[in-house]
């Protein structure tokens, strides 16, 4: 695989339990090799013309480019936000052993 074939994908949600459900579902479906949950974090954003401050939990998924579309589809279906944050970032370097593990764990 090329360096851009591995991704980290970020989303946020408003409860730790929801973050854990999203993480577990993605790993069970093998659309992510693992997911890390961090929070709470404070998010400041504009929504429907108003500036809001919210407490959220970040979920960072590790996946491959081959599984990205399925991960995005899963997140759109499982997430309760109208417009969930789904941002993919390429992994440009990583431990060869870890990246091979990531590929194995997301193999359909």
Residue 93 has what pLDDT? 92
pTM over 0.85: yes
Distance, CA of 71 to CA of 102 (rounded, Å): 14
Tens place of pLDDT per residue across the chain (108 aa)? 555 599 999 999 999 999 999 999 999 999 999 999 999 999 999 989 999 999 999 999 999 999 999 999 999 999 999 999 999 999 999 999 999 999 999 997
Q: Which domains does the chain have, with CATH numbers?
A: 3-106 (3.30.70.120)
Closest CA to 56 of 18, 2, 96, 4: 18
Residue 4's alpha-carbon distances to 21, 79, 108, in angstroms, are 27, 26, 19
């Amino acid at each position: 695989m090329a360096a851009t074939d591995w991704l980290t994908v970020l989303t946020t949600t408003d409860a730790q339990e929801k973050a854990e459900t999203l993480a577990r579902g993605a790993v069970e479906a093998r659309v992510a090799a693992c997911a890390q949950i961090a929070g709470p974090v404070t998010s400041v954003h504009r929504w429907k013309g108003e500036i809001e401050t919210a407490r959220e939990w970040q979920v960072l998924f590790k996946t491959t480019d081959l599984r990205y579309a399925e991960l995005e589809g899963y997140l759109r279906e499982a997430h309760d936000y109208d417009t969930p944050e789904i941002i993919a970032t390429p992994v440009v370097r990583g431990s060869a052993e870890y990246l091979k593990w990531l590929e194995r764990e997301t193999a359909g």
